[in-house]
Structure 1
Amino acid sequence: MVKLHIDNVPVEVPDGSTILEATRQIGLDVPAMCKLDGHKAHNSCMACLVRVEGSGVVPSCSTQVTDGMQVASETPEIHDLRRMSIELLLADHAGDCRAPCQNTCPAHMDVPNMLRLVADGEYRAALATVKREIALPAILGRVCPEVCEHACRRGQHDSPAAICKIKQFVADRDLASDDRYAPPIARSTGKRVVVIGAGPTGLTAAYHLSQRGHAVQMIDDHPEPGGRLANDFADKLPAEVLRAEASVALAQGVETQSLHAVDSFERFTALEQQADAVLLATGRVELTWLVEADIATTKSGIQVDGQTRMTSRPAVFAAGNAVRTYKLVVQSVAEGKLAAECIDHWLRGVDPPDRRRTFESRLARLTNQELCDFCDGTVDTPRVDPKLLTIEPSDEAASREAERCLECDCRALANCLLHHYAAMYECDSHHYRHEGRPYEGKIVGTDVQLESGKCILCGICVTLAREAPDAAGLAIIGRSIHTRLAPPPGYTLDQALGSAARECAESCPTGAIQLLKMPV
């Protein structure tokens, strides 16, 4: 065994171990994107740097430990060097972490996954994907101005995917079934939340709070829930649809009290005393008792803490149009979910959700040639007639329209080491990028594909293919910034990777190599 110190912490590891293995033994997450366990280090990403006393800065993945070694890992100097290495990799990285449609949607719904599931006929799973973010999809499918479709990359090519109508399609299909989708409910927390207001914000908050195991009581001064939905969208939203979807949102144990106006401080305090938290989702109304309740307001509405959504009165929260004007219903729905998350965190005694913008790689607007490359191999069918998704819904039409999605998202995002470390080290993807790397398309085989723009030339797939007896191997082509991986001339990607294709896809640190039939 070898004894050493890492950041003054004593570590003992077997002889022949690397510094990287020693750091992992004490729980340090050192960025090593080109090192595959059981294989020789490539030293290509140069992000796992550490400082060794007497030797200077070295890559930890290939430097063996010695007895008495003093290693500095988590220091400002080393973090700066790691950040630089990661940003240099990002300068040559061309790929979207999330699809433009998902980023543009105020609720950040996972649009591509919904469309994939619909294309496969998995309607219940598609609805579950939608309802993770949007509690009222049948309503939004009718009243949302399709902001996600304005960002759809397919729209730059011919016409955007009919995202909103497909969302309505799966929601309507569920509402018409005898076995409506119900999300899993957490174990009871013993906490009680009163939601005042049954508009889109209040309905959404109640839906998500009940899922988290809290007892929810909803109070509203109208005979039925819906708030502004009932009046502002009467020409688009049938009353029976509003009624049905509201009942689904409240079906998981939410206690409702209609025709009950909270119009005085006395009525408010009576409700407050019965609950652990109160959410004001009253919309744009003048609540004269707010002053008496010491709840601060601004010209926009009720004043809340930007992180917690709590008002100046402890345990009282506010969201939606009660705080500021949200013209889009999807914005109100997003606010309701955020309020539910904040209240849930507060009731559990944990920090509120971190809503700071995290690292994300995004492709610039594609040129015509880049767009042609991006669309290469996708179905070339026109947008379906909307009535086939709404008035006369057809499973075949829904599948055909869903297949038009270009799948701009990265399906390997959850396991992408480049994204993970870029976020950890707060990297700027444009720090060393000038004009940006152009999108180059994909090398598509029968069972696997290689997206060159996401490749960081780590060398892992080259090694794995070299070890596979039935693989032709991968060739390195080009020079300088044009260096790329590709099958040797005359070989397909499937032949280049052979039986190593699955392991290459699973080991790729950026998702540049993917199996074409990955589990969703």
Structure 2
Amino acid sequence: MRSTESRREDETMEKLKIVIDGKECSGLPGQTILDVAKENGIHIPTLCYDERVEIYGACGICVVEVEGNPKMVKACATLIAKDMVVKTDTERVYESRKTNLELLLSNHVGDCRPPCVLNCPGQTDCQGYVGLIANGQYRESAQLIKNKIPMPGSIGRVCPHPCEDNCRRQLVDEPISIALLKRYAADMEADDPYIPEVASETGKKVAVIGGGPFGLSAAYYLRQKGHAITVFEAMPHFGGMLRYGIPQYRLPKEVVDAEVSQIAKMGVELRPNTKIGEDISFETLRSEYDAVVLGIGAWVSTGTGCPGEDAKGVIGGIDFLRKVVKQEAQEIGDKVAIVGGGNTAMDACRTAVRMGASKVYNIYRRTKDEMPADLIEIEEAEEEGVIFRNLTNPIRYITDDNGNVKQIELQIMELGEADESGRRAPRPVEGKTELLDVDTVILAIGQAVAPEGFPGVDLTRKKGIAYDVDTFMTSVDGVFAGGDCGNDKISIAIEAIADGKKVTEVADAYLRGERIAYKKPYVVTRDDITEKDFEDRERQCRSSVGLLDPEYRRDNFEEVVAGFTEEEAVADAKRCLECGCGKYYECKLYDYSNEYDVKPERLAGDINRIEFDDNHPYVVRDPNKCILCGLCVRVCSEVIGVTALGLVHRGFDTVVAPELQNPLSESGCIDCGNCISVCPVGALLPKVTHRKPVPLPTDKTDSVCPHCGVGCQLTLCVNGTDVIRVEPAFGPANEGLLCVKGKYEYDYINSKERLTSPLIRRDGTLVEATWKEAYDYIFASTNSLLKTYGGRALAGVSGERATNEEAYLFQKFVRTVLGSNNVDHWDHIAYHSPVAGLGITTGTGAMTNSISEALHADAFLIAGTDPFKEFPILGTRIGQAARRGAKLVVIDTIDTVISKEADVFLKINPGTANAAVNGILSVIVEEGLYDKEYTSERVEGFDELKTHLKKKSAEKAAEICGVEAEDIRKAARIYASAEKAPIYYSLRFTAQGPGSVTVMNIANLALICGKVGKEGSGINPLRSGANLQGICDMGVLPAHYTAYQRLTNKESVQRFSEAWEEALPIEPGISLLEPMTEWKGLFVMGEDIITRADDRIDEVVKLIDGLELLVVQDAFLTETAKLADVVLPSCTYAEKEGTVTNTERRVQRIRKAIPMHKGTKEDWKILSELLALFGKKAYASAEEVFEEIRTVTPSYAGINFERLDAEGSLQWPCPTEAHPGTPVLHTEGFGRGEKALVVSVE
């Protein structure tokens, strides 16, 4: 991994010119071909490369050709040279990469996609939408379905669900009710349906002929591409067979119409009652449109050629159903026979029942077991009184004198021997026939195409539209076809919809000047799963669904199936076994396999199936999917320094396994999840326990971790309104790493315990209220308190997770509305004294250096903190430096993780921190290890300190502290002699004496050794709060405005008075360090003072008991909120825009990744509205707030959202927009003047 420091050094190096794929590029000495290619937007695939670890070069996927070199080279490991010419896309490179991928796949065991998806003609993400329903994300479920099916409400009602035939849940009990769940998702969003975004208009026009499932799907997906779409339909309404071929009781036409209207709302023009060849010619369409898509369906009912089929009263099944839908008069009589065994036959049978026929027969030449109709359709037909005449076949239709059919002569059939497919063919029983009296015969045998009106388009032998099965192109260029009308393929609706999705890709390419063919994606599948694999699963049969009573439904067309209730849907969805790979949407192996058209079967051989049993709280491990790239092993050992994972065995038997092949949870794993982040496949995944783990496509938003002051940048992976995963981003502090908190602690964002409405206390109880009611209560109560007690009786306390914008408005609200400076944060209690101490010595209480510098330090002095546990990413950096030879000096009162790694561990007695530091100082002075030039030019008070230290010694310190004197001497020598040696300390150290004094003493160490104002060293207090530095910077302090501008400074008061157009109170506020007995009104933002009170709990309870107004802004009903008079529901960091400032003074953007939780508002918005309520300035955005911050905060003046978005972060002070920010403080002077102060401490 390349540090910020090394990148800055790169800027001074001469660049080398190289050529990659004909593009002239430049790079720096030491860069690889891959580095330069990435910088220039040239993609080279990799599997074992990751910039977080050292180069390995194992996978061979990144090979390229270099002119003059007969061998291919690995781009990740080959350094660039002057005038190098590189080719990344030659046939030789392609074949090499393909072969390497095939070798990997030949020993890769898993299911890229679950069996349900693979058996769905539309490749609908069944596992995904079922899982979303299980998680209560119904709208997201419908949206996911619509990626493949634009009419899920219709298809969910009528699809014969081949997906369920492949569902592995039936190995346990019964398949998941996938189709009913599809219907449920669609019904749940029916009132506010998801309408997909449409790309920018391309200027291309497409005519779609036919408004059935195929045509509507093609229109839906082509419109999303930005093309202008017109659908021509011969019938009065759209929907095709969904409308005219399926009865109302199965598919209400209102559902079809609603889904058609959604397509129209996308901008698709729908033209009904338009027959091609009559109302408009095919030639006209071809001339006026850039492409034509034929989806005319198969509307002609077919028969068997049986004598008498032309008799009156013998009608086609499709014709019959269509007339019923169109409400055209049909006399069917009392006795109706329907010939055929499919769903159309069942629809006709059940419709005839509803039309009043007293006897409805179904005639089918095989048994019920062989009928192609859905079993449920057969059962429901039988319940409604349909008489099944199986093993009979019409051989003649007999008419009366008027030519009306009156009887059917039926041949009695029997099933013969099974053929090769296992199906028993029907054969006549010789000499056995019977007559059946009928008034109407409905032939539901099959369908055919009526292809008239399309001159020049080739037809199949059966008069269907002929088209290429891969390109969907007909014999006429630019004319595509699919669905039931083509290639003699009469299909179910989902197959037609699948064609509509496929034709979109090839037609869109055609419109953009390309010619492509649809290619079925390659997936890895498993066929070895049996009941034994699920022996541990509890049997849970599928949810039952409500049906209308058979007697009730016989005479009407009401929808028979009620659909699931929410409880039933969620229960059934939770039964899903999650068969498909959790990495599917981001698996590099899957992506590359399809990019390179792999055929791994040509290299098939033995497969190394690995038996494993692992139960880790955070990691799901499947070594059978592992491709042995080694990234997990290397990030764990090289970067994290844990070695929880390793490569075991050799050759073909090599596997990645936990240390000593124990369970991963017993391996020393620290749960950081960085192995998951680098894994390119699904071998390592985050364990999800609070919801159904569902592989989903995600939108990604970069933000900042809210869990500690390091300020790691992270990526929130979102589906719909939920954060479903967190990945590390490459921020300056963390460079692509996260700790366990950043990786896994995000469940609260989606929590059902979130507040969703303001609350007001009425008659002693908090009850829901409107925002206006809450604001009115606050307005009246605040004004009453101000009138009665004055501003000194009101105060505000902020939490450390507030953004800078929120913190700024909060202190502004307290000062301008409440009229006092009683504004503080709870952490001020602990940090006040240490910050003050550092301020005395250097003029600022902030961390002097940057976290990234730790990677290149020569030594560390770590006092009263355990970075490995408390600030894990900093701890990781320290660990990396230590493994490279950096020395560790640790001072603490307790054993810690880092103390075990220390070269010198001074485990001091409690309260003896200053004695220990004095001992170290005395050795440094005694042995002349201090920086003489630095102490002379940049430090005052050193002579007094030297005199003071003459009374100190390592031996005296050792006696006081309970350590060895030689260890104190060793610690002094290590620290003083190191070129780069940062000091890190936190509260456990400063609590070992008066905090300010302890900090001044440890600052003495850094100052006399010349390690302040220097890269790689410095005095670095570690703040635990995510934006603790920021809220202090923003003036959430009783005696300071922003950037620590004192209230006692008249210029500061004037600056803010003019900026805010207010006469401001000048008396410093009452801090949380003081008794809070004067307060009568308290505003609390994002803090739970009851929980944080600790040993001051009695004081806080007494305070709250005496308050006449307590207002709390929070996302949850905290213990403090439970006592409030008004509670205002706010947002989490994932729902906010703004900035935060980490412990190293680094200002970074947080960004809104999901919509605000129901009923909530961002804290800055709440404060803006409260300010406006009291007649003060309101704000339109967080950015507007930040712009005001800049005008009154000199150290932030050069920072703005645009720069932060472009540069990632900036460290204050940054006084102008041209200023680069300040990674290292005090390089020239100090906040207090030219020199720092060293202070003698006892």
TM-score by length of 2: 0.38
Distance 1:467 1:147, change over 3 A: same
1:294 pairs with 2:465: no
Q: What letter matches 1:186 in structure 2?
A: A
Q: What letter matches 1:382 in structure 2?
A: C
Equivalent-residue separation in structure 1 for 2:163 and 2:251 (angstroms): 20
**Residues 467, 481 of structure 2: 8 Å contact kept:** yes
Distance 1:392 1:410, change over 3 A: closer
**Residues 468, 500 of structure 1: 8 Å contact kept:** no
**Residues 119, 400 of structure 1: 8 Å contact kept:** yes
Shift of residue 282, structure 1, vs aligned partner: 1.5
**Corresponding residue SS for 2:102:** helix
Distance 1:158 1:429, change over 3 A: farther
Equivalent-residue separation in structure 2 for 1:50 and 1:343 (angstroms): 33
**Residues 172, 539 of structure 2: 8 Å contact kept:** no
Distance 1:136 1:439, change over 3 A: farther
Shift of residue 129, structure 1, vs aligned partner: 0.6
Question: Aligned residue for 2:220?
Answer: 207
1:164 pairs with 2:179: yes
1:155 pairs with 2:318: no
Shift of residue 269, structure 1, vs aligned partner: 4.3
**Corresponding residue SS for 1:42:** coil
Question: Aligned residue for 1:255?
Answer: 269
Question: Aligned residue for 2:161?
Answer: 146
1:194 pairs with 2:207: yes
- Among 364, 367, 372, the alignment partner of 2:527 is 364
Equivalent-residue separation in structure 1 for 2:159 and 2:578 (angstroms): 22
The root-mean-square deviation of aligned C-alpha atoms, in Å, is 3.5
**Residues 128, 141 of structure 2: 8 Å contact kept:** yes
**Corresponding residue SS for 1:421:** helix
Shift of residue 469, structure 1, vs aligned partner: 5.8
Shift of residue 329, structure 1, vs aligned partner: 0.9
**Residues 106, 334 of structure 1: 8 Å contact kept:** yes
Greater strand percent: which structure?
A: 2
Equivalent-residue separation in structure 2 for 1:481 and 1:20 (angstroms): 29
Question: Aligned residue for 1:500?
Answer: 672
Please give the per-residue CA displacement for 1:301-355, whole angstroms capped at 9, x wherever unaligned: 12234454343345443322221322211111112233344443333x2325541
Equivalent-residue separation in structure 2 for 1:77 and 1:310 (angstroms): 32
Question: Aligned residue for 2:481?
Answer: 318
Shift of residue 507, structure 1, vs aligned partner: 1.2
Please give the per-residue CA displacement for 1:66-105, whole angstroms capped at 9, x wherever unaligned: 6677877655555544443333222221122222222221
Q: What letter matches 2:582 in structure 1?
A: R
Question: Aligned residue for 1:452?
Answer: 623
Q: What letter matches 1:385 in structure 2?
A: S
Q: What letter matches 2:297 in structure 1?
A: G
**Corresponding residue SS for 2:230:** strand
Please give the per-residue CA displacement for 1:495-514, whole angstroms capped at 9, x wherever unaligned: 6442531x221211213111
**Corresponding residue SS for 2:513:** coil
Q: What letter matches 2:624 in structure 1?
A: G
Please give the per-residue CA displacement for 1:20-62, whole angstroms capped at 9, x wherever unaligned: 4355566654443222214222343244445776795654434
Distance 1:48 1:103, change over 3 A: same
Range moving further from structure 2, 413-422 or 323-332: 413-422
Equivalent-residue separation in structure 2 for 1:202 and 1:72 (angstroms): 43
Equivalent-residue separation in structure 2 for 1:431 and 1:9 (angstroms): 36
Range moving further from structure 2, 302-311 or 393-402: 302-311
Question: Aligned residue for 1:509?
Answer: 680
Q: What letter matches 1:333 in structure 2?
A: I
Equivalent-residue separation in structure 2 for 1:414 and 1:497 (angstroms): 27
Equivalent-residue separation in structure 2 for 1:224 and 1:9 (angstroms): 55
Number of aligned residue pairs: 510
Shift of residue 299, structure 1, vs aligned partner: 1.9
**Corresponding residue SS for 1:398:** helix
Question: Aligned residue for 1:382?
Answer: 541
- Among 492, 499, 502, the alignment partner of 1:338 is 502
Equivalent-residue separation in structure 1 for 2:289 and 2:504 (angstroms): 15
What is the identity percentage for the equivalent residue pairs of Structure 1 and Structure 2?
31
**Residues 277, 315 of structure 1: 8 Å contact kept:** yes
Structure with max Cα Rg: 2
Question: Aligned residue for 2:245?
Answer: 232
**Residues 613, 663 of structure 2: 8 Å contact kept:** no
Q: What letter matches 2:458 in structure 1?
A: A
**Residues 307, 352 of structure 1: 8 Å contact kept:** no
Equivalent-residue separation in structure 1 for 2:239 and 2:581 (angstroms): 36
Question: Aligned residue for 1:443?
Answer: 614
Range moving further from structure 2, 424-433 or 100-109: 424-433
**Residues 119, 166 of structure 2: 8 Å contact kept:** yes
Equivalent-residue separation in structure 1 for 2:203 and 2:76 (angstroms): 49
Shift of residue 441, structure 1, vs aligned partner: 6.2
Equivalent-residue separation in structure 1 for 2:119 and 2:25 (angstroms): 47
Equivalent-residue separation in structure 2 for 1:188 and 1:75 (angstroms): 35
Please give the per-residue CA displacement for 1:462-496, whole angstroms capped at 9, x wherever unaligned: 22222566846124445543432233356544964
Question: Aligned residue for 2:466?
Answer: 303
Q: What letter matches 1:500 in structure 2?
A: C
Question: Aligned residue for 1:327?
Answer: 491
Question: Aligned residue for 1:41?
Answer: 55
Distance 1:193 1:4, change over 3 A: closer
1:391 pairs with 2:562: yes
Please give the per-residue CA displacement for 1:367-417, whole angstroms capped at 9, x wherever unaligned: 454x33xx86x6753222244995252222212222222222223234323
Q: 5+ residue gaps in structure 1?
A: none
Equivalent-residue separation in structure 2 for 1:28 and 1:92 (angstroms): 30
Shift of residue 136, structure 1, vs aligned partner: 1.6
Distance 1:435 1:227, change over 3 A: same
Equivalent-residue separation in structure 1 for 2:475 and 2:25 (angstroms): 49
Equivalent-residue separation in structure 1 for 2:260 and 2:117 (angstroms): 24
Distance 1:351 1:368, change over 3 A: same
Equivalent-residue separation in structure 2 for 1:357 and 1:7 (angstroms): 29
Please give the per-residue CA displacement for 1:425-484, whole angstroms capped at 9, x wherever unaligned: 433223333243447467342222111111122222122222566846124445543432
**Corresponding residue SS for 2:621:** strand
**Residues 471, 499 of structure 1: 8 Å contact kept:** no
1:283 pairs with 2:297: yes
Q: What letter matches 1:453 in structure 2?
A: N
Shift of residue 133, structure 1, vs aligned partner: 0.9
**Residues 274, 280 of structure 2: 8 Å contact kept:** no
Question: Aligned residue for 1:416?
Answer: 587
Distance 1:362 1:261, change over 3 A: same
- Among 14, 29, 54, the alignment partner of 1:15 is 29
Question: Aligned residue for 2:842?
Answer: none
Structure with larger RCO (C-alpha < 8 A, sep 6+) = 1
Range moving further from structure 2, 130-139 or 467-476: 467-476
TM-score by length of 1: 0.85
Please give the per-residue CA displacement for 1:119-176, whole angstroms capped at 9, x wherever unaligned: 111111110110111112122112211111122232334322211110011112223x
Equivalent-residue separation in structure 1 for 2:581 and 2:76 (angstroms): 27
Question: Aligned residue for 2:518?
Answer: 355
Q: 5+ residue gaps in structure 2?
A: 1-14, 299-448, 548-559, 694-716, 720-1242
**Corresponding residue SS for 2:620:** strand
Shift of residue 6, structure 1, vs aligned partner: 6.8
**Residues 107, 333 of structure 1: 8 Å contact kept:** yes
